[in-house]
Every structure is written in structure tokens, then in C-alpha cells.
Amino acid sequence: MSEICKVAAERRGDVAILSTDGYINNQGGEEIARQAYTQLESGARALVLNLEKTRIVNSIGISILIEVLEKVMDRKGKLAFCCLTPTIDKTFRIMGLAQYAAIYPTEADAVRAVSP
């Protein structure tokens, strides 16, 4: 896991896949938000956040993810998470993220689910 959270973006049609590597804290969350908004501005209708290489998320990171989620919902888009550790999976469910963004075991499942 990287010390500084890195975010890689990949576009598949209307779906943007953001893959994180590292601690999703204030810096990591901001980087996710920056890339997510860039993707939305360029026409992405759905976001998939792949957290396979992330083992740790703090409350600041979660609040930023909620902001991203609200932004996507305002635009009538979709957001899905995939490849979460059991700890992060549980945290997202408790924090309410899973109410509005589905969680999938694999990236392929998530992309299939949010594709228009």
C-alpha cells in the first residue's frame, strides 16, 4: 500500500473507474474527488471506485466520498464500490455509503451494474 494515496482513472464508455492505492484520508479523498469531478465534467455517467489497494480509510476520507456520492446523485448518475477489505466494507455500510452506492466484490461486477 502506498504512503500517499494514488488514484488511477480509466474510462470505459460512460463509466469511469477510479482505482485507489493508499490511505483514503484528506489527501486521498481530495484526489478521488478531483478525479471524479473531472470524469463527471467530461461526460461520465457512472463511477466505479476500486479500493483493492486501499486498506485504510478515515472519517475525513469518508466525508469526501459522501460529497462525491451526493454530487453523482445530483447529476442522476451512479456510483459503485468494489474490492473492499472486510473492514472498509463494514465501515461503508455503517456510515451509510452503501445505502446509495452498491458494493461489489469485483470490478467487473461493479462496471456491469452501473453501465447504462
- Positions touching another protein (CB under 8 A) are 1, 3, 23, 25-26, 55-60, 63-64, 66, 71, 74-75, 87, 90-91, 94-96
CB of 51 vs another protein, minimal distance in Å = 13
Evaluate the CA torsion angle 37, 58, 10, 106 in order and state its sign: negative
Nearest residue (CB) to another protein, 3 versus 42: 3
Nearest residue (CB) to another protein, 83 versus 111: 83
**CA nearest neighbour of 51 among 4, 96, 6:** 6
CB of 25 vs another protein, minimal distance in Å = 6
CB of 82 vs another protein, minimal distance in Å = 20
- Coarse DSSP helix, strand, coil percentages of the chain, rounded to the nearest 5 percent: 45, 30, 25
Q: 12: which DSSP letter? A: E
